[in-house]
Chain A
Amino acid sequence: GESVGLHLPTLSVQEGDNSIINCAYSNSASDYFIWYKQESGKGPQFIIDIRSNMDKRQGQRVTVLLNKTVKHLSLQIAATQPGDSAVYFCAENRDAGGTSYGKLTFGQGTILTVHP
């Protein structure tokens, strides 16, 4: 049958606004989370990570918040710029079977569009 593409959540913001991208992760045993940014025609690019023993971590213009109680992760981008337009993925280090090593399980992604 015909494949149906993923319908990714979208977020449109004006340049200079703050952006918040949300992610629900699946495995309560996951203890490491990463946000990646993927621009058109490129591979995913590491943005920021956080371990499960933390609630918040800040980078340059980005902040990641982790709520383990509801298995929720968010990425906040301050003063969003047109160059931030991309697909943003959250990833966790555990799959349903609990395997780890270097494998990451990615979320479906959110399309961020920044309007000048």
Chain B
Amino acid sequence: DSGVTQTPKHLITATGQRVTLRCSPRSGDLSVYWYQQSLDQGLQFLIQYYNGEERAKGNILERFSAQQFPDLHSELNLSSLELGDSALYFCASSVGAAHYGYTFGSGTRLTVV
């Protein structure tokens, strides 16, 4: 157990739907990162939050959004889902805002049908 908790582990939904993925960082970590891992794109950075504020943004689609709450857990919202959004979504956390040796959760496998 890495200490980073992601729920749900698996999610199957239909095209056009909206889902929310949840992440609880390791105790004491202030940064949360979201990554997408797909067969054709590998591991891609989506977004980072540090202590409730957005800190860095990657190639995150406009249909996707995220936030970090006062208790430091984070949610990634994916809307108007397409078949191509099927992927593993990983959350990671770290102590600082630019601390790269971060810890990943076990991921949420999203399947859009």
Contact = CB atoms under 8 A, between A and B. Distances in A.
A18 interface: no
A49 B39 contact: no
A5 B39 contact: yes
Contacts of B92: 43
Contacts of A36: 104
**Contact residues on A (Cβ < 8 Å of other chain), bracket:** 20 to 34
Interface stretch (A21-29, A56-64, A68-76, A102-110): A102-110
A42 B52 CA distance: 26
B39 A103 contact: no
Given A101-B97, A102-B48, A43 B106 contact: yes
A102 B43 contact: no
Contacts of B103: 46
A103 B56 CA distance: 7
Nearest to B39: A5
A53 interface: no
B106 A103 contact: no
B42 to A, nearest CB: 5
Given A3-B40, A4-B40, A89-B43, A102 B104 contact: no
What 6 A-B pairs have minimum CB-CB distances, sorted nearest first? A43-B104, A5-B39, A106-B43, A101-B56, A3-B40, A103-B56
Contact of A104 (B45, B55, B96): B45
B107 A43 contact: yes
Nearest to A44: B104
